[in-house]
Amino acid sequence: MNDEQLLRYSRQIMLPDVDIDGQEKLLAARVLIIGLGGLGSPVAMYLAAAGIGHLVLADFDTVDLTNLQRQIAHTSARIGVNKAVSAARSLRELNPDIVLDCIETILDAENLAEQINHADVVVDCTDNFATRFAINAVCVAAKVPLVSGAAIRLEGQVAVFDARTESSPCYRCLYEEDSDDATCAANGVLAPLVGIIGSMQALEAIKLICGFGTGLTGRLLLLDARHMQWREMKLPKDQQCPVCGTP
Amino acid sequence: MMIQVSVNNEIKSIAPATLLSDALQDWGYGDSKIAVAINQEFVPRSTYTERALSNNDQIDIVRPVGGG
């Protein structure tokens, strides 16, 4: 690390859990963020600011006026711009010290597998179940940890699935495929809720890379923002899971 | 003699040792894409037909959230 990096990251380097060693791990890490919307915005901004050395931003959608109420990596001037490209512009201003790659097309199965295989951590910030299950299956096969967040209305959920650990459950242990999509466009979502869930995803990604603390693997946190109540449920692996179970 | 369980904080009376799969059917969740936790621990879906419910079990029916 050079002097400017030591200064830029000094407030987290001074944490014994991070230290120089942890910051070097962050700078050496490659994180794939899929979806640069409500969750992906704070995830990308915090991970860029914290000095994740290489961020891959994937989103095929473009910025719309209705996104700006909560998708804080984008700006009014960038309506119509691809979301990965728009987010990268904000991140570049936050931190010129990191590598940013944008994927502006829909990730087909082949591209998804290639990107996940090259990632140290995948952060799922997508808005539909089909993509969530596809990401999960590749993360299990590639043994890459997955930080999963979701939010709608005033409800949020966050969990970590770490396929490097034999006993870890996967997203498919929790939910069945063909679940009905409830979109923010049809159901609404309150802005700071996605900030809370996205911030937790970024925090868990940093912990996974540095390797400190107790991760969220094997637990699901559920937030009821209307009453500001968190619940925690244990999530065991389903031995018969069609994705991660033993056949 | 019936036992009592709570389902999303609502008390329900059921026959002792009712299987989770049967109870879900009775409560109208038969075809729903949901996850079920008993006493703050999710039950693997493959064991719904083996899991017998006990008196005072706290059951949470959790719907998937997919928004981002």
Q: Where are the domains of chain B?
A: 3-62
The reply to whether residue B40 touches residue A238, judged by beta carbons under 8 angstroms, is no
pLDDT exceeds cutoff 90 at A184: no
Q: Which pLDDT score is estimated for A165?
A: 95
Cβ-count burial A19-32 (b if 16+ within 10 Å, e if not):
eeebbbbbbebbbb
Maximum CA extent, chain B? 46
Residues 6+ apart with CB under 8 A from A47: A31, A33, A55, A123, A202, A205, A206
Summarize the confidence of residues A142-154 as an average pLDDT.
97
pLDDT exceeds cutoff 90 at A182: no
pLDDT exceeds cutoff 90 at B10: yes
Residues 6+ apart with CB under 8 A from A102: A57, A58, A82, A84, A85, A88
- Comparing alpha-carbon positions, the chain B residue that sits nearest to A237 is B44
Q: Reduced to 3 states, what is the DSSP secondary structure of residue A130?
A: helix
Does the beta carbon of A64 lie under 8 angstroms from any beta carbon of chain B?
no
Residue written as token pair 């559920």: A222
pLDDT band at A200 (very low <50, low <70, confident <90, very high): very high
Which residue, among A147, A190, A165, has the nearest Cα to A29 in the 3D structure? A147
Does the beta carbon of A127 lie under 8 angstroms from any beta carbon of chain B?
yes
CB A54 within 8 A of CB A98: yes
pLDDT exceeds cutoff 90 at A179: no
Residues of A in contact with B67 (CB under 8 A): 38, 127, 150-152, 182-184, 187, 189
CA distances from A98 to A31, A81, A145, B32 (A): 12, 22, 21, 44
The reply to whether residue B33 touches residue A181, judged by beta carbons under 8 angstroms, is no
CB atoms within 10 A of CB A10: 10
Residues 6+ apart with CB under 8 A from A166: none
The reply to whether residue B67 touches residue A238, judged by beta carbons under 8 angstroms, is no
pLDDT exceeds cutoff 80 at A183: no
Residues of A in contact with B33 (CB under 8 A): 175-176, 178-180
Q: In chain A, which residue ranges form alpha helices assigned H by DSSP?
A: 3-8, 10-13, 19-28, 40-49, 83-94, 109-117, 129-142, 171-174, 184-187, 191-210
Q: Which pLDDT score is estimated for A128?
A: 93
The string of DSSP codes covering A139-205 is: HHHHT--EEEEEEEBTEEEEEEE-TTSTT---HHHHS-SSPPP--HHHH-B-HHHHHHHHHHHHHHH
What tokens were used for A133? Answer: 């299950």
Q: Which pLDDT score is estimated for A204?
A: 98
Q: Which pLDDT score is estimated for A146?
A: 98
Distance of alpha carbon A97 from alpha carbon A113, whole angstroms: 27
Does the beta carbon of A178 lie under 8 angstroms from any beta carbon of chain B?
yes
Does the beta carbon of A59 lie under 8 angstroms from any beta carbon of chain B?
no
Residues of B in contact with A231 (CB under 8 A): 40, 60
β-pair partners for A190 = none
Q: Which pLDDT score is estimated for A180?
A: 74
Those of residues 87-116 in A touching chain B at CB distance below 8 A are none
Q: How far B3 CA lies from chain A's nearest CA (Å)?
A: 24
Q: Which CATH number fits domain B3-62: 3.30.420.10, 2.130.10.10, 3.10.20.30, 1.20.200.10?
A: 3.10.20.30
Summarize the confidence of residues A44-67 as an average pLDDT.
98
Distance of alpha carbon B14 from alpha carbon B29, whole angstroms: 16
Q: Reduced to 3 states, what is the DSSP secondary structure of residue A35?
A: coil
A202 φ, ψ (degrees, to nearest 5): -65, -40
Q: How far A209 CA lies from chain B's nearest CA (Å)?
A: 23
Summarize the confidence of residues A167-196 as an average pLDDT.
90
Burial of A11 (0-12, 13-18, 19+ CB in 10 A): exposed
This model of the complex carries an ipTM of 0.93
pLDDT exceeds cutoff 80 at B30: yes
Would you state the torsion angle of the CA atoms of residues A47, A48, A53, A59, taken in this order, to the nearest 10 degrees?
A: 80
